[in-house]
Amino acid sequence: MVSLLDIIGPVMVGPSSSHTAGACRLGLLARCLVGGTPERALIELHGSFARTGEGHGTDKAIVGGLMGFRPDDERLRTALEIMDREGLDYRFEKTTLGDDAHPNTVRITLERGDRKSQMLGASLGAGRVLVTEIDGYPVEVPGNSDTIVLVAEDVKGSIARIAGLLADAQLNIATLKLTRKERGGDAFMVIEVDERPNEEVRDAIRALGWVKWAFRLDKVSA
């Protein structure tokens, strides 16, 4: 099935749905990991992003996304100048992530205050993206729904406890994916919800003694 979005592409500023709109969405998702605009960022571009990204505005798009600009925001055109005026420390490098990595892949390492995080994601075309790694843990987050991502010890009742916290906050679970490497090891959860969870919900999940970390990734429309 081919959607209208696949034919005409997303509403955006820039010449390429994959190199600009998708890149901007990846920046928007990454900023969620540190709770806002990062003070420092290392942005490592792989494959086509590294070879042709500058000409397509990929650098501006990622930086704009990190500052909270959406793909149709006119400020994307001057995102690098805005970054300099705000005194933000953003650095770009070209890298090789291996043959298995999508050609439009970026690894973003962020710092904001005492918070630091790293995200690996790819732009798949037509503005669609996929986050494949957060802080070294494999994930599959397309960013089409508000999402909670967490790593916890594999203990009995963990899913029920987290589902209870979401129900108490009047949040409906759309999908829940649970993976683990081994019994009794770390369990990884990706929970998509119909409504945007607030910071209190995320903090309540983080406060559970067996949860190692939890992030809220806000929905970013293509």
Task: CATH number of the domain at 213, please.
Answer: 3.30.70.260
Joined tokens for residue 57: 């505005």
60 and 167 housed in the same domain: no
In this predicted model, what pLDDT tens digit does every residue of 86-125 receive, in sequence order?
A: 999 999 999 999 889 999 999 999 999 999 999 999 999 8
Q: Examine the pLDDT at 55 and tell me if it is beyond 90.
A: no
Quote the domain boundaries for residue 188: 146-217
Query: What is the amino acid identity at position 222?
Result: A
User: What residues contact 198, with CB distance under 8 A and at least 6 apart?
Assistant: 169
Q: Examine the pLDDT at 13 and tell me if it is beyond 90.
A: no
> Where residue 5 falls among pLDDT bands split at 50, 70, 90?
very low
114 and 168 housed in the same domain: no
Please tell me the total count of domains within the chain.
Answer: 2
In this predicted model, what pLDDT tens digit does every residue of 203-217 receive, in sequence order?
A: 999 999 999 999 999
pLDDT of residue 221: 64
26 and 12 housed in the same domain: yes
For residue 222, is it within any domain? Answer: no
150 and 137 housed in the same domain: no
Average pLDDT, the chain: 88
15 and 33 housed in the same domain: yes
Strand 146-153 to 173-180 pairing: unpaired
44 and 136 housed in the same domain: yes
CB 207 within 8 A of CB 150: no
Interval 10-16 mean pLDDT? 49
Concatenate the DSSP letters of all residues of 11-25 into one string. S-SSS-IIIIIHHHH
In this predicted model, what pLDDT tens digit does every residue of 60-92 receive, in sequence order?
A: 999 999 999 998 899 999 999 999 999 999 999
157 and 186 housed in the same domain: yes
Of 141, 168, 191, at which residue does a domain stop?
141
In this predicted model, what pLDDT tens digit does every residue of 161-197 receive, in sequence order?
A: 999 999 999 999 999 998 877 777 888 899 999 999 9
CB 91 within 8 A of CB 42: yes
pLDDT of residue 16: 55
Span of 12-21, 22-31, 180-189 with lowest mean pLDDT: 12-21
CB 76 within 8 A of CB 13: yes
pLDDT of residue 185: 80
Distance CA 17, CA 35 (A): 26
Q: What is the CATH number of the domain that holds 66?
A: 3.30.1330.90
Of 119, 141, 163, at which residue does a domain stop?
141
Find, among 219, 40, 68, the residue nearest to 146 by Cα: 219
Stated pTM of the model: 0.85
Q: Spell out a b/e string for 121-140, using b for 16 or more CB atoms within 10 Å of the CB, else e.
A: bbbebbbbbbbbebbeeebe
Q: Helix 22-32 to helix 58-66 angle, to the nearest 10 degrees?
A: 30
